[in-house]
Structure 1
């Protein structure tokens, strides 16, 4: 019997910094719960797999779905995850990279039990600026590759270790973007050219065998009158991987995996399809994303089983 722990940060009892009234948690909790429940449903379909799930009072499990576990009174989420991981064979952690959270959880769990990217890849992806520099240096198309002869008309400011569209704003000039960045006290920010085009993401299964494009997804991004971006959801598997654009994105996924060793399991890559340049990589998500929800059913395969199988095989090979 393989014992698997599932911990999704919000539904497992984590808090968002500065969310004193719970508003941000209320907004993000449904997404966290959907990801958690999709993972659990897939894991429960694996023969010989028992599943324990961190479930706080605000996000209880459906009756009979899996064994719920909770932190003890006064126990931090990190101590809780470390304690539970020690009682399981594998741990699947879904948490934001913000503030080094995902990397810290990796340290609590340990590489042998961790289902996902290694710590070096997580730490790189936790900095949007460092990620783009790595990919740009590897020859991949990024906003940093916009040439002097094609100056951007707009610029975007975002937290360097932020998640999604949180605190992300578009400006009509570089000077305005710089002023915005200087006014922020929350932590390091990054300024990059705004890339016009269709916002997409790709879901990729990474292993020592390479990077497999699972789906191409359309991201619904809104922009208010003051340039603030909002994430309004994702339409999964909207472009066939076998199409012309799908083939280009499959090649892109392989290049990203070569540029960032240590990507393992389910990985998301956000990009914009520019009208003339084609796909431009915006950021890298070294973890399960919202696009996981419903994807196993759409593809007719159990993605969780694929991730577990690849980890088990690769860890066994490493011990030989």
Structure 2
């Protein structure tokens, strides 16, 4: 079985522009952790990889993507050679949806969520609307071009389709924030920034780890400097929240991320990532189990492995910058 791992940023998706300092470390850590986990699975006969030629090759056989190359054409060719494809990309500008479509046109087995779920999760506004309709705790989200009059106090703006902390800024009040139609605006919620790493399979939903996010703020700009995978314990409120969020967005599958804020009143959802997130870089070490082995796409005879009883995760630091 040949597996093509396509991480958008490191695989050449940004070859025509400057490489962003924020996304390269995250993409590299996810890709390298996934490479190690897939190589450890029985039955994997080889990995297919591509890399931006401005970055080190992850393996000697990796296909370089140069300045005059079309990365999408290169990826399509690699996907056609693979038995399984695992695409990873930011939600920005619909990139993850486009990548999944391309991979599914070339390969029968793609580790990805359904496109309907990806479309919802790629919009923070649509995600918040869906969670609100299901009466689930979430950060109220509005179009920055027309914030409601009842929105007061410190606020945060960010791209509706941004990934991570991309262009996320805190403002003292809605009046100070830009009226940009491409941005959404949310109240700034006090609490502990965290993320949930969740496994969604046909036979159920499992909360793998609760991770503490380390955010830094410089001149109002928020960025993720790292996280501690498995730093926080599961409680009854999280145990109820996770399957409810997954049920609210049909089509989620595989290992996904849910960003939350832990407040005294309980957890509130910030966004849902329909893909692996940076926490994957520390997931294997935190669980002492290869998380890729849980995915049915990698079970050659079609049988699902029984979910083991997972012990409490051991905290693992993932430093990005």
Structure 1 unmatched runs, 5+: none
Matched pairs, number: 295
1:81 to 47, 60, 75: 75
1:181 to 175, 179, 182: 179
Listed as ranges, the matches of 1:256-295 within 5 Å are: 256-275=245-264, 277-295=265-283
| Partner-residue secondary structure (3-state), 1:250 | helix
Residue 252 of structure 1 is matched in structure 2 by: 241
> Which protein is richer in helix relative to its size?
1
- In structure 2, what is the Cα distance between the partners aligned to 1:12 and 1:269? 25
| Partner-residue secondary structure (3-state), 1:201 | strand
> Cα–Cα, structure 1 residues 125 and 211, in superposed 2: closer, same or farther, change >3 Å?
same
| Partner-residue secondary structure (3-state), 1:294 | helix
- CA deviations on 1:245-284 (whole Å, 9 max, x unpaired) are 3x32132110111000111111000010112x21000011
Q: Would the aligned equivalents of 1:165 and 1:230 in 2 still touch at CA under 8 Å? A: yes
Listed as ranges, the matches of 1:95-114 within 5 Å are: 95-110=89-104, 112-114=108-110
CA RMSD in angstroms, aligned pairs only:
2.7
| Partner-residue secondary structure (3-state), 2:260 | strand
Residue 193 of structure 1 is matched in structure 2 by: 187
| Partner-residue secondary structure (3-state), 1:55 | strand
Q: Would the aligned equivalents of 1:6 and 1:36 in 2 still touch at CA under 8 Å? A: yes
Listed as ranges, the matches of 1:177-256 within 5 Å are: 177=177, 180-182=178-180, 188-225=182-219, 227-241=220-234, 245=235, 247-256=236-245
> Cα–Cα, structure 1 residues 72 and 314, in superposed 2: closer, same or farther, change >3 Å?
farther
Please give the TM-score of this superposition, normalised by the length of structure 1.
Answer: 0.84
Compute the displacement of 1:70 (Å): 3.6
| Partner-residue secondary structure (3-state), 2:13 | coil
Q: Would the aligned equivalents of 2:151 and 2:174 in 1 still touch at CA under 8 Å? A: no
Compute the displacement of 1:314 (Å): 7.5
Structure 2 unmatched runs, 5+: 142-147, 305-321
- In structure 2, what is the Cα distance between the partners aligned to 1:313 and 1:279? 39
Please give the TM-score of this superposition, normalised by the length of structure 2.
Answer: 0.84
| Partner-residue secondary structure (3-state), 1:181 | coil
1:53 to 49, 56, 60: 49
Residue 32 of structure 1 is matched in structure 2 by: 27
> Cα–Cα, structure 1 residues 151 and 28, in superposed 2: closer, same or farther, change >3 Å?
closer
Does 97-106 or 45-54 show the bigger shift?
45-54
Compute the displacement of 1:74 (Å): 4.2
Q: Would the aligned equivalents of 1:202 and 1:268 in 2 still touch at CA under 8 Å? A: yes
Q: Would the aligned equivalents of 2:57 and 2:64 in 1 still touch at CA under 8 Å? A: no
Q: Would the aligned equivalents of 1:11 and 1:58 in 2 still touch at CA under 8 Å? A: no
Compute the displacement of 1:72 (Å): 7.7
> Cα–Cα, structure 1 residues 16 and 52, in superposed 2: closer, same or farther, change >3 Å?
closer
1:172 maps onto 2:176 in alignment: no
2:292 to 296, 300, 304: 304
| Partner-residue secondary structure (3-state), 1:142 | coil
